[in-house]
Amino acid sequence: MADDRLFRLEIISPDRVFYQGDVAMVELTTSEGDVGIYKNHIPMTMIVVPGIVTITEEEGQKRAALHSGFIEVLPDKVTILAELAEWPDEIDLNRAEEARVRAQRRLETGDSSMNMIRANMALRKALVRIELAEGKQK
């Protein structure tokens, strides 16, 4: 018998269908802040910003990194179109740490010709990857 609390979640990136399944809840970061979505949520669309998505299934939770995109929420289905989505075991911690250092250096230079929004976004993506990868190692 199907669980009445579950709804369909799809996370799609340009290179793959990252996740498809029935879930009890999904939590992620949007431009409006952190949100948690259950079945029968009011329909809406939001902008996804870099952060960790927590997927609550009947068997437990899964966490992944999401890097920008859009989310469409319907009462019985949520679709996330992500620029990039990564599971913890897909993240190279050393590479993420190097990206963090590069982004922080760019921000510290204060060069007015530099795109500060892009540098801040690169830093945020690196920090999300590091947080997720380090959580995997614990």
Q: Could you tell me the CATH number of the domain that includes residue 36?
A: 2.60.15.10
pLDDT score of 77? 97
- Report the share of the chain in percent with pLDDT over 90: 60
The span from the CA of 133 to the CA of 129, in Å, is 6
More confident residue, 108 or 65: 65
Same domain, 55 and 81: yes
Coil, helix or strand at residue 112: coil
- Choose the final residue of a domain: 86, 105, 126: 86
Of 61, 71, 82, the residue nearest 15 (C-alpha): 82
Residue 109 tokens, joined: 């230079």
Look at residue 94 in the predicted model and tell me its pLDDT: 86
| Residue 120, domain extent | 89-137
Residue 136, pLDDT > 70, answer no
Residue 121's pLDDT band (cuts 50, 70, 90): confident
81 and 13, same structural domain?
A: yes
> Which helix (DSSP H) or strand (DSSP E) does residue 137 occupy?
helix 116-137
Question: Are 81 and 94 contained in the same domain?
Answer: no
Question: What is the DSSP code (8-state) at residue 106?
Answer: H
13 and 80 both lie in a single domain: yes
Is 70 exceeded by the pLDDT of residue 36? yes
Q: Which of 14-23, 30-39, 65-74, 122-131 has the lowest mean pLDDT?
A: 122-131
Do 72 and 100 lie in one domain? The reply is: no
24 shares its domain with 81: yes
Instruction: Looking at the structure, tell me whether residues 112 and 47 fall in a common domain.
Output: no
**Which of the two residues, 105 and 37, has the higher pLDDT score?**
37
Task: Domain count for the chain, please give it.
Answer: 2
